[in-house]
Chains A and B, each alone.
Chain A
Amino acid sequence: QVQLVESGGGAVQAGRSLRLSCAASGFSFSSSDMHWVRQPPGKGLEWVAVISFDGSNKYYADSVKGRFTSFRDNSENTLHLQMDSLRTDDTGVYYCAKESGSHFLDYWGRGTLVTVSS
């Protein structure tokens, strides 16, 4: 079955960097566009980034553009999110999710918590 397992979260000071990873299994990872979605504590969902199946196209929310970079290793079935210049409002649970063919997210990981302190 489809599994997405995020890792790499933790506590970090503002201005520092963190790299998240998402290990995928149970589906054709190299054929799937993948997303990052985050959720601040007690708040709603915020889309962060999408990367195309081959890594050639990447799009980001305005709130992270220029600071976050998504990349993938299809040989390892792994998705990454490099987060630089972190801010306190980047705090939240970060989910990786698989996109279906019709621009919705059909499978989600359980998330990894990122806490950015001042």
Chain B
Amino acid sequence: VLTQSPATLSLSPGEGASLSCRASQRVSRYLAWYQQKPGQAPRLLIFDSSKRATGIPARFSGSGSGTDFTLTISSLEPEDFAIYYCQQRSNWPPEYSFGQGTKLEIK
């Protein structure tokens, strides 16, 4: 089980954001982060805990290992206000799961 916190984060453009994803059991490095905007499909941001996907700005970074992972946005742009999900895969059976999401809203 992946637990994300906070459920909602209210910040202003230009501020930094830190989103948490905690696993109930130690997970492999295969943790990913996705961004979803209203009416759109999720978009991959970070994979393998800390690697940025193609085309993702450098202000997005991922860190963590074991059971605690963090998505950091260094300086929020207006287009960053969205919902963010973490995702992992269990070793066996190979089942995938998502956190419940963190909504990043404009303050």
Contacts and interface: CB of A to CB of B under 8 A. Distances in A.
Contacts of B42: 37, 45, 95, 105, 108
Interface stretch (A13-21, A77-85, A96-104): A96-104
Given A44-B85, A45-B85, A104 B44 contact: yes
A59 B95 contact: yes
A105 B45 CA distance: 10
Given A47-B98, A50-B96, A59-B94, A108 B47 contact: no
Given A44-B85, A95-B41, A110-B41, A105 B32 contact: yes
Interface residues of B, number: 26
A47 B30 contact: no
B106 to A, nearest CB: 19
Interface in B78-96: 83, 85, 87-89, 93-96
Interface string A26-43: 000000000101000000
Interface of B: 30, 32, 34, 36, 40-44, 47-48, 53, 83, 85, 87-89, 93-101
